[in-house]
Structure 1
Amino acid sequence: MYFHDFGPLLWAGTAETMKLAMLSLCVSLVLGLAGAAAKLSGSRALAAVGTCYTTLIRAVPDLVLMLLLFYAMQILLNHCTDLLGWEQIDIDPFMAGVMTLGFIYGAYFTETFRGAFLAVPRGQLDAGFAYGMSGSRVFRRILFPQMMRFALPGIGNNWLVLVKATALVSIVGLAELVKASQDAGKSTLNLFFFTFVAGVIYLAITTMSNIVLHYFERRYSVGVRRPAL
C-alpha cells in the first residue's frame, strides 16, 4: 500500500537524484581536468590557484560548503539585484546543487587526474612527438587512454561518494530521493521504512555504477598484463 501511494514520489526523487549526480559529475570532471592542468602547467600562479582550491575544498566538510556556497550565491545575487533596482531572484535549488557539488568534487577529481597524468611515462609522450604527432594527437592516442586506466579507480570512488552526497542538497529544498523518502515517512508515520527503501535504492544505483565502472576498467586495460598472484 505504501508503494502504491508514494511510489511515484520516490521514483521522481530517484530521477532527480540521478540528474543531479550526472550533471554534477560533468561539472566536476571539467573542473578536475582544469585543476590538474593548472597544477601541472609549470606556472607558479596557476599551480598556487590549483593548490589553494584543492586544499581549501578538501579541508572543509561538504555540508558546511553546501550551506556556505548556496547562501553566499543567494546573498551575492540579492546585492546585485538591489544595486540594479530589480526584484529579488531566488536561486533554483537544482542548479545550486549541481554547481555546488560540482565545485566541491572538482577538487577531488583534480587530484585524481593529476596523479593519473603523472603516472603516464614521459618517454611515451616524447616518442609520440618524435614520430611527428601533433599535441592533440598525442593526447588522444597516447596520453588520454593511459591516463584513464590510472584514473578510473579514483573516478569510480569519487562518483560513488558524489552519488551519496546528493542527499545533502535536501537541506536547500530540493526534492531528491532523501527528501522524498522523508516526506513519505512523515506522511505515513513510518519514517524507518521509507529511509530503508531510500538506502536500498542508493545501493542499487551504486551496484549498477560498479558494473559500468568495471566494464570501463577492462576496456582501458586491454593489452596490459595483470600481475601474477
Structure 2
Amino acid sequence: MVTVALTLATLPVGLILGFVLSLARQSGDPLVRLSARIYATIFRGVPELLTLFVVYYGSQYLVTAVSTALFGVPLEVSPFFAGMVALGLVMASYASEVFLAAFRAIAAGQYEAGRALGLQKGKIMRLIILPQLIRLALPGLSNLWLSLMKDTALVSVITLNDLLRQTQVAVSSTRQPFFFYLVACLIYLGLSLLSSIAIGQTRRWASRGMVTR
C-alpha cells in the first residue's frame, strides 16, 4: 500500500533531520542555533499542503531545467519522492522540538558522569544519552507517527495513487461517496490501531531495566 510505504519512507527522513536540528538548537554557535530555529518556525508555520506544492512543483521545475540543459532531455520528479521530502521536512520541524525537550529532561550530571569515566563525546551520546533520549522522546514521536500517517493523504493532490486517491477514483466511478469514504476511514483507523499496538510494544522495550517511582 502506497500510504504505508510513504509513511515508512518519510519516517527516517523526519527523525534524522529532526535529531540534527535538535543538536543545532543546542549548538554553541549562535548562527547555527538561529538557523535551526528559523527552519522549525517556517515549516511549523506553513501548511503542509503548501509545503507539498512548493517542493513538488519547485523540484520539478529545477530538475527539468537542469536535465534539459545538461542532457537535452527533461526529467520528472516522482510524486512519491516529492511527498517523502515535503512531509519529511515538516515532520523534522516537529521532531526537533520533541528531541530538544528530551535532551533538556536529561540531567547534566549524566554528561559529567560520562566524562568522569573517561568516555569521549561520541560514546557518552551513544551509551548514556541516546538510550534515555529514546525513552523520553517516544511518546511525542509516537504522536508524530500517527499524524504523519494521516498527512500522507495530502499527496493525492499531486497524483500519487495513495489510499485517498484510490478512494476518490472509486467514488467517481460508482457514485457512492459515503460507502467508499467510510471504508477509507476504517482503513486509516485500522492502521492507527495497529500502529498504537506497535508503539506500545516499543515503549515497553525502551523501558526495560528502568526503575519507576
Alignment TM-score, normalising by the size of structure 1: 0.88
For residues 119 and 63 of structure 2, the distance between their equivalents in structure 1, rounded to whole angstroms, comes to: 47
Listed one character per residue, the Cα deviations across residues 42-92 of structure 1 (whole Å, up to 9, x for unaligned) are: 111211111111000000111111111211111222332343362211111
Identity %: 36
Listed one character per residue, the Cα deviations across residues 110-140 of structure 1 (whole Å, up to 9, x for unaligned) are: 1111111111111012101201223222222
Report which stretch shifted further, 125-134 or 146-155: 125-134
For residues 100 and 30 of structure 2, the distance between their equivalents in structure 1, rounded to whole angstroms, comes to: 16
Unaligned runs of 5+ in 1: 1-14
Paired letter, 1:54? A
Equivalenced residue count is: 212
Matched, 1:105 2:91: yes
Listed one character per residue, the Cα deviations across residues 192-220 of structure 1 (whole Å, up to 9, x for unaligned) are: 21111111111111111111111222222
Matched, 1:135 2:121: yes
Q: How does 1:147-158 map to 2 (within 5 A)?
A: 147-158=133-144
Listed one character per residue, the Cα deviations across residues 145-202 of structure 1 (whole Å, up to 9, x for unaligned) are: 1111110111001110000000000000100110111111211111221111111111
For residues 116 and 62 of structure 1, the distance between their equivalents in structure 2, rounded to whole angstroms, comes to: 25
For residues 23 and 58 of structure 2, the distance between their equivalents in structure 1, rounded to whole angstroms, comes to: 28
Unaligned runs of 5+ in 2: none
Match of residue 49, structure 1, among 12, 35, 56: 35
- The equivalent of 1:75 in structure 2 is 61
- The equivalent of 2:70 in structure 1 is 84
For residues 64 and 165 of structure 2, the distance between their equivalents in structure 1, rounded to whole angstroms, comes to: 27
